[in-house]
Amino acid sequence: MIELFQLHKSFGSQKVLDGLNLVIEPGRTTVIIGRSGGGKSVLLKHIIGLMKPDQGKILVDGVDIARLNDRGLNEIRKRFGMLFQEAALFDSLTVGENVAFPLREHTKMTDLEIRLEVKERLKAVGLFGIEEKMPAELSGGMRKRVGLARALAMKPEIVLFDEPTTGLDPVMTEAINNLIIETQRSFNLTCVVISHDLQSIFKIGHNIAMLYEGRIIEYGDSAKVASSENPVVRQFLNGSIQGPMRLM
Amino acid sequence: MGRIGIILEKTGKTIEGKVEEMGRTVLMCLSIFSWMVRPPFKIRPIFKQMEFVGVKSIFVVVLTGTFTGMVMALQGYKGFRTFGAESMVGATVALAMTRELGPVLTSLMVTARAGSAMAAELGTMRVTEQIDALYVMAVNPVKHLIVPRVIASVVMVPLLTVIANFVGILGGYFVGVHVLRIGSGAFVSNIVRLVDLEDIYHGLTKAAVFGLILSVVGCYKGFNARNGAEGVGRATTEAVVLASIAILVSDYFLTAIMF
């Protein structure tokens, strides 16, 4: 279980997280929604220890990762996988080498075993025979799927998705959403997804948390959030310019 | 008073920023050294970088070294001829190349070629979240990306300097003996008489330090790049300028200490 207590984070005079509290349930998909530039990616980076909070606790199964040193953090990170917004594939490596990267770094698998595992991981995300291609040769959707294959290579318990469907066409969006749902179900993963694609939010999310002005202002299952009376949530879900939410 | 206050404040902030950056560079150096001696040790990435920093710089270093040696011979000849000491041209070229021009010019060329590439490559990796991806996969980017580049530079810049010294002296020999008609025996014997092994060793030590400087500066600037393509461009420019200045300034102090 991931628990965030009283998280504060500022960049200069700009407060991004302001006493944020959130519990991410294990074995479920929690979607964090909120306006662009509202601190969703910052929150995700805190969960995996890429950023340290100014104040507050980030507990992963009771361990406060904000207090861990590099070695401790690396041990925790081995339980995580992350799909970045632009997939963050290493552009000097082939697709196969990208997916094999964590296996080469952290396991004693032989070359043959790694090759078979890579093939298997790519097959699981619907990709065949592209091991020798370079990331630059791939479409946006393919890059994200390779990124997901890499994120899942070490069989993580927790997977973080940073806007997995942003910039994709509706068909590819649907394919990625289905992939997230299937992956979550088959491996009983804890997933944290950042998104502002309304269709995707309700399709993939068991729980939805709305981040606004550095705090979670609404949290619950899809039905609860969809029927929320909170005017900020309503404005966000309706995509309306009129309302209490300030445009940046 | 108000205007003076603003000027002082701005100056103070600039100095504070520079001091902070120096501190961060020192911290990165310490981090690099500590990761250098921590396992796992992977040779392959180091050889890959050695090829990039060293082998692929040979052409430009040979070109620079040869013409520097040739022009040194030409200039030296004009000076020495006035008091009939033309035979000293060879020793002058050899001493200048081994002690000074070899290491400095080689490291400046490697800075322009490889130091800039290190900043651009790491900067691109930073702004496209590839460095974050390494952290997420529990792989330390300093160990994985920077240590091989630093080791490769410290090893390859001295080796390139050996080549630059050799072709520089050869270029000087060609101009001195075949163009300016200085006696071959006098040219070579003065080199042997006046150039000590110590001159070569000290030159190579300087080259290793310059290799360290250009790689640390290039990697530091790239690693801390921000704000997309513009930030990567800025990091690359800053890396080349800062590394070149640092090489020339440290050259003085190293020379003062060693010779």
pLDDT of residue B113: 94
pLDDT of residue B111: 96
Q: Do A105 and B133 touch (CB under 8 A)?
A: no
Q: Contacts of residue B148 in chain A, CB cutoff 8 Å?
A: none
Q: Which residues of chain B have pLDDT under 50?
A: none
**Which residues does B147 contact at the CB level (< 8 Å), separation at least 6?**
B32, B35, B36
Q: How confident is the model at residue A248 (pLDDT cuts 50, 70, 90)?
A: low
- The CA distance from A73 to the nearest CA of chain B, in Å, is 8
**Which residues does B256 contact at the CB level (< 8 Å), separation at least 6?**
none
Q: Contacts of residue A91 in chain B, CB cutoff 8 Å?
A: 124, 128, 130
Residue A189: pLDDT above 80? yes
pLDDT of residue A137: 93
Q: How far apart are CA B23 and CA B143, in angstroms?
A: 20
pLDDT of residue A241: 79
pLDDT of residue B2: 81
- The CA distance from B143 to the nearest CA of chain A, in Å, is 12
Q: Contacts of residue A154 in chain B, CB cutoff 8 Å?
A: 137
pLDDT of residue B106: 96
Q: Count the alpha carbons within 13 Å of B124 in the hemisphere toward its beta carbon.
A: 9
Q: How far apart are CA A131 and CA B112, in angstroms?
A: 34
* pLDDT tens-place string over residues B139-170: 999 999 999 999 999 999 999 999 999 999 99
Q: What is the DSSP string of B120-148?
A: HHHHHHHHTTHHHHHHHTT--HIIIIIHH
Q: Lowest mean pLDDT of A27-31, A117-121, A236-240, B12-16, name the range.
A: A236-240
Residue A226: pLDDT above 90? no
* pLDDT tens-place string over residues A95-126: 999 999 999 988 999 999 999 999 998 998 88
What are the phi and psi torsion angles at B110 (to 5°)?
-70, -35
Burial of B38 (0-12, 13-18, 19+ CB in 10 A): exposed
pLDDT of residue A247: 65
Residues of chain B whose beta carbon is less than 8 angstroms from a beta carbon of chain A are 121, 124-125, 128-130, 132-133, 135-140
* pLDDT tens-place string over residues A124-173: 888 888 999 999 999 888 898 899 899 988 889 999 999 888 878 888 88
Q: How far apart are CA B215 and CA A163, in angstroms?
A: 35
Tell me if the bond preceding B40 is cis, omega within 30° of 0. Answer: yes
The H or E element that residue A24 is part of is: strand A14-24
pLDDT of residue A99: 94
Q: Contacts of residue B135 in chain A, CB cutoff 8 Å?
A: 49-50, 77
Q: Contacts of residue B143 in chain A, CB cutoff 8 Å?
A: none
Q: How far apart are CA A80 and CA B132, in angstroms?
A: 13
* Secondary structure of residue A21 in the 3-state scheme: strand
Q: Do B138 and A48 touch (CB under 8 A)?
A: no
pLDDT of residue A196: 81
Residues of chain A whose beta carbon is less than 8 angstroms from a beta carbon of chain B are 45, 48-50, 70, 74-75, 77-78, 80-82, 84-86, 88-92, 101-102, 105-106, 154
* pLDDT tens-place string over residues B230-258: 999 999 999 999 999 999 999 999 999 98
